[in-house]
Chain A
């Protein structure tokens, strides 16, 4: 038991009881961030902000949403949108944030790839980040079902059907996940549970883990320089702030991040107020109907590249059916980036523009994923520049896997043999 004495104020009173000052040191004022970073290092804080926005608007929406197939559609499109004061605002913030958070997640992820922030002690940051990507995908999908429009219903139908591809028990698993022979009320209520309770709890826990994994290796920097954080922190604390290569998380780093959040929020609320429709699929304004399929089913933009990989194989290869190959490819594409630290055989931590082969590889991957995204939206039976969309999809899919599984290991092995860049 500590010796409790009369406190000099509220801070001191708390400090005696919960070691407030020490906690602030550990969490922010002596958690060190390198000075040589750019705006791309602000994406993490922007993601945190968006997640908090989603959480708060989610609570407000939940007050009026009814998880029942006969009530869900109207509770969203009538009650929340027309009756609830500012309901339209919460819904549009929630929808736009759900979409934009994926844009920032992709920027955040590709920043880590570009600067090599997934290796040499930073593997756990990368793995917990990928885990967050998977969880956010599940969160987005389960939330998409809730308004119970046509696209909600058929997206649920198609995605739950994917589990039918599991050998032997596939069909039983599909029925078990749905709780019925088709997507129905029991499916909606369980996905409601996942979206508003279980997945958010797990997400918050894994976000905390993601933050903690940064603690020991610290964040990477623009040049990939290996900083001795103990030495540099010592300099800073002694008062030599000019020569120290680090600044504290608060007030140094976060103060500037607030500026980035400010800029981002201008962009974000411009979307919410003037372009909220990009996050609203017109087909979803028709109530879900089990007996009528929309002419063209496609996911939201952030899943398109994976969706295109799913349908990239449309012919059988060596007796494996197109269906099974597509399914395996789709499942692997979801977790493919988990293994970045394994594909990359080189120890060099440097920005891509200082690693010739890697630089070319990086932009090829980005371009390929953009092509996959574009063709994921186009109907499969269309033709572009005289080539059928199915074939473009097939070659882009093959390119994606070859880039990750073949090209990257080869160029990084050569880099290693050259002894660096």
Chain B
């Protein structure tokens, strides 16, 4: 090993070290470029008034570009404290309307009282609990806060925390 060779090795190592540090920072920057924009994140709240809903009525609204099922339970539907959102003296099923298998939108069949996902024949009962097919878990409940007769999706209230704790 001549002196010259050692100098060159040092130059090579120094260059490599600087390039590696620069490369690492660049990767972080590239990762963050792919992140959702602040404007996208800020648009994540939706408020819905539940008071006009009739017993047994099914509504579909949009939250964070996802469809949300809101079903007001009627007397024939058994209460389920693990899934129901209780507002006043009514019970509602609030769920993200995306099949937990691959994210298609299931269809509410009022006659059979089930949600059916056409893509892979998954089924969910009235409470949004998976009863047949590939879906791995019940329909997800979006974070919500109860504000009088209104439901604020995107914020978390104590009722939501309780449901999640039971899940």
Contacts and interface: CB of A to CB of B under 8 A. Distances in A.
B38 to A, nearest CB: 12
A295 B67 CA distance: 16
Interface string B27-67: 00001001111001000100000000000000010101111
A77 interface: no
Contacts of A290: 62, 65-67
A323 B65 contact: no
A326 B64 CA distance: 28
A322 B44 CA distance: 32
Interface stretch (B9-17, B84-92, B102-110, B156-164): B102-110
Contacts of B44: 181
A326 B134 contact: yes
B75 to A, nearest CB: 30
Interface stretch (B18-26, B115-123, B144-152): B115-123
A357 B122 CA distance: 41
B166 to A, nearest CB: 21
A150 to B, nearest CB: 12
Interface stretch (A171-179, A269-277, A405-413): A171-179
Given A158-B104, A293-B104, A176 B136 contact: no
A291 interface: yes
Contacts of B60: 291
B102 A162 contact: yes
A177 B34 CA distance: 7
B65 A182 contact: yes
Interface residues of A, number: 35
A158 B102 contact: yes
Given A311-B134, A322-B134, A326-B134, A184 B65 contact: yes
Given A158-B103, A180-B65, A314 B133 contact: yes
Main DSSP-derived SS at the A contact region: loop
A311 B103 contact: no
B136 A180 contact: no
A291 B105 contact: yes
Contacts of A179: 34-37, 40
A380 B120 contact: yes
Nearest to B117: A293
Contacts of A177: 34
Interface string B127-147: 000000111100000000000
A361 to B, nearest CB: 30
A292 B103 contact: no
B164 to A, nearest CB: 15
Contact of B36 (A158, A175, A322, A323): A175
Contact of A186 (B37, B135, B136): B37
Nearest to A381: B121
A321 B136 contact: yes
A190 interface: yes
A296 interface: yes
Interface in A322-344: 322-324, 326
Contacts of B134: 311, 313-314, 322-323, 326
A161 interface: yes
B34 A295 contact: no
Contact of B64 (A176, A182, A291, A321): A182
Contacts of B36: 175-176, 178-181, 186
7 contacts: A179-B35, A179-B37, A186-B36, A296-B119, A297-B104, A323-B135, A390-B121
Interface of A: 154, 157-158, 161-162, 175-182, 184, 186, 190, 290-293, 295-297, 311, 313-314, 321-324, 326, 379-381, 390
Query: Which 9 A/B pairs are nearest by Cβ-Cβ distance?
Result: A182-B65, A181-B64, A323-B136, A381-B121, A293-B105, A161-B103, A293-B104, A321-B136, A158-B102
Given A179-B35, A323-B135, 17 more contacts: A157-B104, A158-B104, A161-B103, A175-B36, A177-B34, A179-B40, A181-B36, A184-B40, A184-B65, A290-B65, A291-B67, A293-B118, A296-B119, A297-B104, A313-B134, A314-B134, A324-B136
